[in-house]
């Protein structure tokens, strides 16, 4: 490769120029997100069943669906949330399944089970993942009094949503906030009784008459004709005129209004009640691109609908834009820090210029490759590029230094020095790159969450390493030939200043390093070596034993994104209107907070809407608050959360509240950092047991809030029918129920208004009959013996029941979820386990389903990747050095670097986590790379000197390159360790581990490796 490009300089310049242009285009055009999409394939089945209680929905809808879906291949978890009127069944699959295949399988399973579902059940299938989270939420509110929210909802459903969906950039749009348009028929039961109209018969009559019916066709000499009866009425007056009996029209016994369905959901954006438009991206789409498109369309809509106010009330745009800008700034700083370190160690402007030119080439080359393979830019990819800086320095500097040595010490002409100097280090340079690649590569195939979150990081690192090596043996020699065209000149004042500074600081460490090696070779050298080895092993044991329990373990460390999530519950029987009123004082206070940018409040749920309120009761609210980023405020997000809790606890009627930071769990499928799940075949006792669990763990250090997923606190009016008495009047319980249109039954669908979407026609009881239990008792029932009140055949009693019932893996379940501020999950979970040891678990399962499950699985997978990487690297070292002993000595150093890794995490205050384990893997790669430099020199010098002298010389000669690589890499990692970008808190342990480990690793490489080398050298 070197000779090919050395003879073709214009080719390499053209390739690099092309790389620059492609890279710049990729930097602008590639999708930009915060983190890679790592959610497992998940499919949700939402089934509407009007009028059914949570218990009925569970038994007749969720259970049959669960049983069928559980048979599917690669199913990981199946759960359901059941509440009045609808069921939500969630099927989570393993990564290998794929989202499309999962959706197809679930759809097929649903078609099989559909025959076992009630006739009025209407299931729908939805895919969900990171793309479900709204890119932007646009709040629509009326600007004028004459425009109601019901009318705004009609416009949103019928015009704005279809308009936005017509743009191919936008994946989906969900409309939320209640006020769903409907034609409502309010029947007066008193008038119906006067005209002897049975309400069950009435609803069937409306449904039958108000419908277009194809009758057939005729075919004769005059041609072919279809026969259709057009009965559908699309005007209110026409519906009023529907005949329900001879000479009796619907308007005579009912009010017909075009309004909205009874509300079980609501939305407040930036303190104003409105209708929410949740804009979503397609799977794999770019948050920033979709957001920019939606905002551009919003500006057009503002002009078209001048009486509607459009406001952004929640967004990912600002977070991702800020994070991407921060990461580019961090990359800039990392380059500056690295070049300063390089100048410090070399005191050579030529080397700094060569490296300075190669860095942007590597950066844009890496971006180009990612673009060509259809990748995206996110914080993980940027981190990988920053991490590669120290490694690419090593490649370039080794070439430059060797070329300079050939010119200055061997007296060769510049052209000859470039050729010979480059060829001389091709093998060790390639070996270093290959060894780092080999040790990192297995992590890309460990499966599970670690593979999917870190594959972009590892692949980007490997791309950068490959490009760095290629540039070092192609581009750098051409730069060197130009820089050294006049030979090696005397250093200028600035270079001499840096040179002296190095000599008087880091350079002085050569003396103690050499001194330790001399100590190992004194009298009783075996005992001396043993003391050094035992000493370092004891330090390793003490560091790991004492530090690891202190720092704890997390999947990913908490991060301050400036986004706070709140989930709160009022009384289960509260309506949306009542819950809104109770929350108003808090929202008024929130609007006065200067650091708040926007806020979003979603009450209840709507069938088919997954991005807002999915699974919430009407009395439950999910709040999202966007603050200015952490660089623009004094308080941390956890201090803000404490203020929010204090303010929320002042609200009347509040039953529970959870306040937590965005991304509080590693995956959205994990309900809370600490999630204790109880499972049983019977749900009746689960709420009581959950209360016992809550009391046990309430005062655990580090917990900030706690709640149970459901309770039996819903006051239900139970209609107890005297069956014998009802039969004596010619009525069955079902016959009585059919005469009570209190559930807003859909009797028809209006769809002939060309400018509007279809409108449901719903039937309700008029007046107090649908609002007051005492009035309902007087409801007139039609019997074979005349009209009698409901109270003559039934009693209505109040009792507490379940507003919501949950199931998990075919059993009833309830979750006790708890949130924390920054204390590691492993420590919180361990404390919870101790508290729960005394709890009687007879008759039910108690499981830890929080972050600890992912911690244990991920750590196991990463440790397996590290083990495979180390084994492969050992084999590679044996091949390169043709020595099993030398290879094992190099590998022996690796676990010792955990001393520095542990202290690094303790110093920076970070827990052991997935990023720290990846940092350990990267650390091993860097240490092996430095070990190759030392071992290669020892082997070559050994050909003419004794083992001990070769070891001494390897320290003296290789001290500067090893230290330069170490501190150059550390310098590049400083922006990561200091968390100079929003969201970088998640990955900073990677740098913390590497920085601490490299400091110790450089000492081990320069002292222990030479000691082992000469100590085990038996050659004469």
Range of the domain at 12: 1-30+347-489
Strand partners for 627 = 596
What's the structural domain count of the chain?
Answer: 3
Please report the sign of the dihedral spanned by the C-alpha atoms of residue 589, residue 592, residue 595, residue 601.
positive
Which residues 6+ apart lie within 8 Å of 695 measured at CB?
none
What is the residue-wise DSSP string for 190-249?
A: HHHHHTT--HHHHHHHHHHHSSEEEEEEEEETTEEEEEEEE----SHHHHHT-EEETTEE
Domain presence at residue 626: no
What is the residue-wise DSSP string for 610-638?
A: -SSSTT--TTEEEEEEEEPPGGG-SS-HH
Domain presence at residue 943: yes
d(CA 835, CA 819): 17
Shared domain for 40 and 19, answered yes or no, is no
* Alpha-carbon radius of gyration of the chain: 36
Confidence at residue 676, expressed as pLDDT on a 0 to 100 scale:
96
Confidence at residue 411, expressed as pLDDT on a 0 to 100 scale:
76
Long-range contacts of 865-870, Cβ-Cβ distance < 8 Å, separation of 24 or more: 865/442, 865/443, 865/445, 865/446, 865/450, 865/921, 866/442, 866/917, 866/920, 866/921, 866/924, 868/442, 869/438, 869/439, 869/440, 869/441, 869/442, 869/443, 869/921, 869/924, 870/439, 870/894, 870/924
The secondary structure of 69-136, three-state, reads HCCCCCEEEEEEEEECCEEEEEEEECHHHCHHHHHHHHHHHHHHHHHHCCCCCEEEEEEECHHHCCCE
Confidence at residue 359, expressed as pLDDT on a 0 to 100 scale:
86
Domain presence at residue 907: yes
Shared domain for 475 and 433, answered yes or no, is yes
Residues 329, 332, 337, CA angle at the centre, nearest 5°?
125
Shared domain for 403 and 531, answered yes or no, is no
d(CA 41, CA 30): 24
Shared domain for 863 and 949, answered yes or no, is yes
Shared domain for 25 and 36, answered yes or no, is no
Domain presence at residue 429: yes
Phi, psi of 91 (to 5 degrees): -115, 115
Shared domain for 997 and 1014, answered yes or no, is yes
Phi, psi of 713 (to 5 degrees): -120, 20
Reported as a single tens digit per residue, the pLDDT across 805-851 is 999 999 999 999 999 989 999 999 999 999 999 898 888 999 999 99
Q: Are strands 759-765 and 181-187 parallel, antiparallel or unpaired?
A: parallel
Which residues 6+ apart lie within 8 Å of 223 measured at CB?
none
Confidence at residue 215, expressed as pLDDT on a 0 to 100 scale:
42
CB 409: neighbour CB atoms within 10 A? 9
CB 257 within 8 A of CB 585: no
Reported as a single tens digit per residue, the pLDDT across 702-724 is 999 999 999 888 777 777 777 78
Shared domain for 429 and 482, answered yes or no, is yes
The structure tokens listed for 65 are 């669906």
Sheet bearing 308-315, strands edge to edge = 172-176, 275-280, 136-142, 308-315
The DSSP 8-state label assigned to residue 59 in this structure reads I
Sheet bearing 745-750, strands edge to edge = 254-260, 181-187, 759-765, 745-750
| CA nearest neighbour of 675 among 553, 818, 808 | 818
d(CA 759, CA 261): 10
The structure tokens listed for 404 are 């300079």
Domain presence at residue 384: yes
Domain presence at residue 326: no
Shared domain for 19 and 58, answered yes or no, is no
Domain presence at residue 315: no
Confidence at residue 239, expressed as pLDDT on a 0 to 100 scale:
77
Shared domain for 462 and 542, answered yes or no, is no
Q: Where are the beta strands (DSSP E) in 454-595?
A: 563-569
| CA nearest neighbour of 937 among 1009, 872, 1018 | 1009
Q: Considering 98, 130, 162, which residue would you say is the last residue of a domain? A: 130
Secondary structure class of 666 (helix, strand, coil): coil
The structure tokens listed for 299 are 């500006």
The DSSP 8-state label assigned to residue 573 in this structure reads T
Confidence at residue 421, expressed as pLDDT on a 0 to 100 scale:
80
Q: Considering 461, 489, 517, which residue would you say is the last residue of a domain? A: 489
CATH code for the domain in which residue 9 is found: 1.20.1640.10
| CA nearest neighbour of 305 among 154, 167, 134 | 154
Shared domain for 21 and 60, answered yes or no, is no
Q: What is the pTM of this model?
A: 0.86
Q: At what angle do helices 898-908 and 988-1003 cross, to 10 degrees?
A: 140
Confidence at residue 785, expressed as pLDDT on a 0 to 100 scale:
77
Confidence at residue 235, expressed as pLDDT on a 0 to 100 scale:
65
CATH code for the domain in which residue 111 is found: 3.30.70.1430
Confidence at residue 747, expressed as pLDDT on a 0 to 100 scale:
42
Shared domain for 885 and 982, answered yes or no, is yes
Q: Considering 489, 519, 534, which residue would you say is the last residue of a domain? A: 489
Domain presence at residue 232: no
Shared domain for 439 and 532, answered yes or no, is no
Q: Which residues of the chain have pLDDT under 70?
A: 1-2, 5-6, 199-200, 204-235, 390, 738-773, 1020
């Amino acid at each position: 490769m070197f000779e090919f490009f050395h003879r073709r300089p214009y080719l390499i310049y053209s390739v690099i120029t092309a790389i620059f242009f492609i890279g710049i285009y990729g930097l602008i055009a590639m999708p930009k997100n915060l983190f890679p999409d790592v959610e497992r394939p998940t499919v949700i089945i939402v089934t509407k069943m009007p009028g059914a209680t949570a218990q009925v929905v569970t038994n007749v809808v969720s259970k049959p669906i669960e049983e069928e879906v559980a048979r599917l291949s690669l199913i990981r978890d199946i759960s359901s949330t059941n509440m009045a009127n609808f069921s939500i069944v969630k099927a989570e699959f393993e990564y290998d399944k794929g989202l499309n295949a999962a959706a197809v399988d679930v759809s097929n399973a649903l078609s099989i089970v559909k025959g076992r579902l009630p006739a009025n059940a209407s299931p729908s299938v939805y895919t969900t993942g990171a793309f479900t989270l709204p890119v932007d939420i646009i709040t629509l509110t009326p600007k004028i009094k004459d425009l109601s929210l019901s009318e705004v909802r009609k416009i949103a459903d019928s015009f704005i949503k279809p308009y936005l969906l017509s743009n191919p950039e936008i994946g989906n749009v969900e409309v939320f906030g209640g006020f769903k348009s409907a034609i409502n028929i309010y029947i007066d039961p008193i008038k119906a009784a006067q005209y002897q109209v049975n309400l069950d018969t009435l609803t069937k009559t409306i449904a039958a008459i108000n419908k277009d019916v194809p009758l057939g066709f005729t075919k004769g000499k005059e041609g072919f004709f279809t026969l259709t009866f057009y009965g559908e009425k699309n005007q209110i007056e026409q519906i009023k005129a529907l005949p329900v009996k001879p000479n009796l029209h619907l308007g005579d016994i009912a009010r017909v209004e075009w309004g909205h369905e009874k509300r079980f959901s609501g939305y407040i954006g930036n303190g104003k009640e409105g209708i929410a438009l949740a804009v979503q991206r397609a799977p794999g789409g770019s948050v920033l691109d979709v957001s920019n498109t939606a905002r551009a369309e919003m500006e057009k809509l503002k002009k078209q609908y001048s009486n509607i106010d459009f406001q952004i009330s929640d967004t990912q745009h600002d977070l991702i834009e800020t994070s991407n800008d921060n990461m580019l700034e961090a990359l800039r700083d990392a380059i500056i820090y690295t070049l300063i370190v390089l100048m410090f160690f070399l005191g050579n402007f030529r080397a700094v210029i060569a490296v300075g030119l190669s860095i942007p080439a590597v950066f844009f080359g890496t971006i180009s490759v990612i673009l060509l393979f259809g990748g995206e830019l996110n914080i993980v990819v940027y981190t990988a590029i920053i991490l590669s800086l120290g490694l690419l320095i090593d490649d370039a500097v080794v070439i430059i230094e060797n070329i300079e040595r050939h010119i200055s010490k061997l007296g060769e002409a510049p052209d000859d020095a470039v050729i010979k100097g480059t060829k001389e280090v091709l093998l060790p340079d390639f070996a270093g790159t290959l060894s780092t690649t080999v040790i990192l590569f297995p992590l890309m195939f460990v499966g599970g969450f670690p593979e999917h979150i870190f594959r972009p990081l590892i692949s980007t690192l490997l791309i950068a390493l490959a490009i760095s090596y290629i540039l070092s043996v192609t581009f750098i020699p051409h730069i060197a030939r130009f820089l050294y065209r006049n030979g090696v000149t005397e250093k200028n004042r600035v270079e001499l200043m840096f040179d002296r500074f190095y000599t008087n600081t880091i350079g002085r460490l050569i003396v103690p390093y050499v001194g330790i090696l001399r100590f190992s070779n004194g009298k009783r050298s075996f005992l001396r070596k043993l003391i050094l080895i035992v000493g370092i092993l004891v330090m390793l044991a003490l560091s790991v034993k004492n530090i690891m329990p202190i720092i704890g373990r997390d999947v990913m460390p908490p991060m301050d994104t400036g986004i706070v999530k709140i989930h709160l519950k009022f009384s289960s029987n509260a309506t949306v209107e009542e819950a809104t009123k109770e929350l108003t004082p808090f929202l008024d206070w929130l609007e006065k907070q200067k650091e708040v940018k926007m806020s979003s409040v979603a009450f209840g749920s709507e069938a088919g809407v997954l991005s807002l309120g999915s699974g919430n009761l009407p009395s439950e609210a999910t709040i999202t608050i966007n603050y200015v980023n952490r660089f623009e405020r004094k308080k941390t997000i956890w201090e803000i959360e404490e203020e929010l809790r204090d303010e929320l606890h002042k609200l009347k009627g509040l039953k529970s509240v959870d306040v937590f930071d965005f991304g509080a769990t590693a995956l959205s499928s994990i309900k809370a950092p600490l999630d204790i799940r109880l499972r049983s075949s019977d749900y009746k006792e689960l709420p009581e047991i959950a209360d016992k669990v809550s009391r046990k763990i309430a005062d655990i250090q580090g917990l900030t809030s706690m709640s149970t997923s459901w309770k039996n606190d819903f006051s239900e009016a139970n209609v107890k029918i005297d069956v014998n008495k009802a039969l004596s009047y010619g009525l069955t319980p079902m016959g009585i129920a059919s005469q009570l249109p209190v559930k807003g039954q859909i009797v028809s669908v209006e769809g002939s208004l060309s400018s509007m979407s279809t409108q449901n026609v719903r039937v309700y009881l008029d007046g107090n009959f649908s609002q007051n239990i005492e009035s309902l008792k007087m409801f007139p029932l039609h019997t074979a013996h005349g009209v009698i009140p409901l109270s003559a055949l039934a009693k209505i009693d109040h009792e507490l029941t379940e507003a919501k019932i949950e199931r998990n893996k075919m059993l009833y379940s309830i979750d006790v979820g708890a949130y924390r501020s920054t204390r590691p999950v492993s420590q919180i979970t361990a404390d919870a386990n101790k508290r729960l040891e005394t709890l009687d678990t007879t008759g039910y399962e108690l499981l830890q389903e929080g972050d600890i499950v992912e911690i244990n699985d991920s750590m196991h997978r990463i440790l397996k990747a590290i083990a495979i990487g180390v084994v492969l690297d050992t084999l590679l070292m044996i091949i390169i050095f043709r020595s099993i002993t030398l290879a094992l000595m190099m590998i022996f150093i690796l676990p010792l670097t955990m001393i520095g890794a542990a202290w690094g995490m303790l110093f920076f205050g970070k827990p052991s986590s997935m990023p720290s384990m990846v940092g350990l893997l990267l650390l091993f790669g860097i240490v092996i790379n430095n070990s190759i430099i030392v071992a290669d020199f020892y082997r070559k010098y050994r050909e003419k000197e004794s083992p001990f002298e070769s070891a001494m010389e390897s320290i003296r000669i290789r001290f500067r390159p090893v230290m330069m690589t170490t501190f150059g890499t550390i310098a590049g990692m400083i922006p990561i360790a200091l968390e100079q970008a929003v969201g970088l808190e998640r990955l900073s342990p990677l740098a913390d581990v590497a920085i601490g480990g490299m400091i110790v690793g450089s000492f081990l490489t320069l002292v222990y490796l030479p000691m082992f080398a000469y100590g085990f050298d038996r050659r004469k």
